[in-house]
């Protein structure tokens, strides 16, 4: 039995393991006395040391020094390959024990993401940003004061247990674009990385992201709170490109993921990219093996995400400024822009673009129908009744089952033209067309159709009253006597 114990003690010594009784002063073995030279003085952590029950990095170092222990970077997982510092020309920011890895690069404005140079982002105008975001607070958008942000995380679901191990910041400096990628080599690096990010975020007025409102920024906000740091972007404006992209391109492209938008809008195709869903797994494997070679693909994927943001923002602004860049070539995109103007209550632009759109040839029926509806409603709000009447009249003639346009046209004919007979005819034609198309069941449950039937009933009663003579009450009395 003693031989086995000696072998175990020898193995423990080779592994650098220390028995619990030599570390805890309150526990003593009857057969072996605690070493006299081990003195442990553990103080209760104060509020400044972090959350209750957690030791700060400095306190942990003091504790190791008192116990005569040496700190090892990765005592459990020995290195199985080159570290990230040997693969990418970056630097360690912070002290040697808890610093994070920073990889900084600068790209010229001529660097192209497909057919769009990065320099296009410098021409991004605030009025186009506000238009695409449907947010007037972004009218003061300045591309030089904007920070393009993306994160890679330990999980895709978010939540308090998810950590952003790779945070990227991109920003314009004169005619170049600088990209900073902040990487946690282990969980101990997070505090130093967040402190650095807090200083960097404070230098910008606006955050640009892709789905950052729903994922990236809430996650970073949680991490800042966990480390008892103030949230540096709390007052910054936020331009989330995913919503702008969906408003403009979703009608034509059902998949509005950044990778798909790169291919079909920017004409940019990644080579050797790592799928996003594999990135958390690659990070976990890195923690176990300390082989950073698979992370090179993660850094590439992350960098392309941020560079695409800068190019995409500039390209969208150029497209919205028809005279300053390429226009939208697809009818679906053109209609989406008309809808965008309408959502922003820029009704004069709606009328202008809708009329030009309708004058173009080979417009699909569903697109033409929606553009006529937008034109009629915008002209109504501008008080341009001739344009409004023409739009609704055309819409009723070409699409007689459109109950909304029939109701608007009937109201205009009754109240502006003082022609209830024509208004009743419009209602009747639409109800007949709907009955033929959908049958009796299709015209009973719809609220718009019910309202149209009620309008027709009221108009018919009004016409009947108009047909009666002015002294109708006397005539009715004699008719009843007869």
Tell me: the pLDDT tens digits for 364-388?
Answer: 889 999 999 999 999 999 999 999 9
296 and 427 assigned to the same domain: no
Q: Flag whether 53 is in a domain.
A: no
**Range with top average pLDDT, 38-47, 161-170, 326-335, 408-417:** 161-170
Q: Flag whether 44 is in a domain.
A: no
316 and 412 assigned to the same domain: no
Q: How many Å from the N-terminal Cα to the C-terminal Cα in the chain?
A: 130
Say if residues 139 and 239 touch (Cβ distance below 8 Å). Answer: no
179 and 281 assigned to the same domain: yes
**In the listed set 261, 296, 320, which residue is the last one of a domain according to the structure?**
320
Non-local (6+) Cβ contacts of 425 within 8 A are none
Q: Please report, for the domain that includes residue 249, its CATH number.
A: 3.30.420.10
The pLDDT of residue 36? 45
Q: Flag whether 289 is in a domain.
A: yes
- Sign (positive or negative) of CA dihedral 374, 377, 378, 384: positive
316 and 405 assigned to the same domain: no
131 and 275 assigned to the same domain: yes
Domain coverage including residue 407 = 400-471
Task: Please write the tens of the pLDDT for every residue from 24-80.
Answer: 444 444 444 444 444 434 344 444 444 444 456 677 677 777 776 665 554 444 556
Q: Flag whether 138 is in a domain.
A: yes
Angle between helices 420-442 and 385-398 (to 10 degrees): 40
Query: What's the pTM?
Result: 0.78
Q: Flag whether 111 is in a domain.
A: yes
Q: Flag whether 98 is in a domain.
A: yes
Q: Which two tokens stand for residue 305?
A: 């995400």
Alpha-carbon distance of 85 to 71, in angstroms, equals 20
Torsion angle of alpha carbons 13, 15, 16, 18, nearest 10°? -70
**In the listed set 320, 335, 350, which residue is the last one of a domain according to the structure?**
320
Q: What are phi and psi of 22, to 5 degrees?
A: -80, -10
Q: Where are the alpha helices (DSSP H) in 27-134?
A: 57-67, 84-87, 126-133
DSSP 157: S
Q: How many domains does the chain have?
A: 2
Percentage with pLDDT > 90 across the chain? 66
**In the listed set 270, 287, 320, which residue is the last one of a domain according to the structure?**
320
148 and 286 assigned to the same domain: yes
Q: Flag whether 49 is in a domain.
A: no
Q: Flag whether 116 is in a domain.
A: yes
């Amino acid at each position: 039995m003693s031989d086995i114990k000696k072998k175990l003690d020898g193995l423990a010594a080779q592994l650098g393991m220390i028995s619990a009784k030599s570390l805890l002063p309150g526990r003593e073995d009857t057969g072996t006395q605690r070493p006299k030279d081990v003195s442990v003085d553990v103080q209760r952590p104060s509020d400044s040391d972090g959350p209750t029950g957690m030791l700060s990095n400095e306190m942990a170092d003091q504790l190791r020094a008192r116990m005569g222990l040496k700190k090892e970077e990765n005592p459990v997982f020995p290195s199985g390959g080159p570290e990230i510092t040997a693969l990418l020309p970056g630097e360690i920011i912070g002290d040697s024990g808890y610093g994070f890895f920073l990889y900084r690069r600068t790209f010229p404005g001529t660097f192209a993401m497909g057919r769009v140079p990065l320099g296009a982002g410098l021409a991004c105008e605030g009025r186009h940003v506000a238009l695409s975001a449907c947010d007037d607070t972004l009218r003061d958008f300045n591309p030089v004061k904007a920070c393009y942000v993306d994160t890679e995380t330990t999980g895709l679901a978010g939540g308090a247990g998810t950590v952003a191990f790779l945070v990227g910041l991109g920003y314009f400096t004169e005619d170049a674009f600088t990209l900073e990628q902040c990487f946690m080599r282990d969980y101990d690096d997070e505090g130093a990385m967040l402190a650095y990010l807090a200083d960097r975020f404070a230098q910008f007025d606006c955050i640009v992201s892709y789905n950052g409102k729903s994922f990236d920024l809430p996650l970073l906000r949680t991490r800042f709170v966990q480390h008892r740091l103030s949230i540096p972007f709390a007052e910054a404006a936020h331009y989330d490109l995913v919503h702008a992209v969906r408003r403009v391109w979703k009608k034509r492209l059902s998949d509005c993921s950044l990778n798909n938008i790169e291919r079909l809008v920017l004409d940019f195709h990644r080579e050797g990219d790592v799928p996003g869903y594999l990135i958390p797994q690659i990070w976990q494997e890195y923690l176990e093996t300390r082989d950073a070679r698979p992370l090179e693909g993660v850094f590439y994927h992350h960098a392309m995400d941020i560079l695409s943001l800068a190019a995409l923002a500039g390209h969208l602004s150029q497209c919205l400024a028809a005279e300053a860049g390429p226009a939208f070539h697809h009818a679906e995109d053109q209609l989406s822009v008309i809808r965008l103007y309408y959502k922003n209550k820029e009704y004069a632009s709606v009328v202008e673009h809708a009329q030009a759109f309708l004058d173009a040839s080979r417009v699909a029926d569903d697109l033409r129908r929606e553009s006529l509806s937008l034109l009629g409603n915008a002209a109504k709000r501008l008080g341009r009744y001739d344009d409004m009447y023409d739009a609704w009249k055309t819409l009723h003639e070409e699409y007689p089952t459109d109950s909304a346009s029939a109701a608007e046209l009937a109201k205009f004919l009754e109240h502006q033209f003082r022609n209830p007979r024509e208004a009743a005819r419009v209602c009747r034609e639409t109800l007949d067309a709907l009955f033929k198309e959908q049958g009796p069941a299709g015209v009973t449950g719809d609220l718009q159709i019910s309202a149209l039937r009620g309008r027709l009933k009221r108009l018919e009663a009004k016409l009947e009253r108009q047909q009666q003579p002015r002294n109708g009450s006397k005539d009715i009395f004699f008719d009843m006597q007869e």
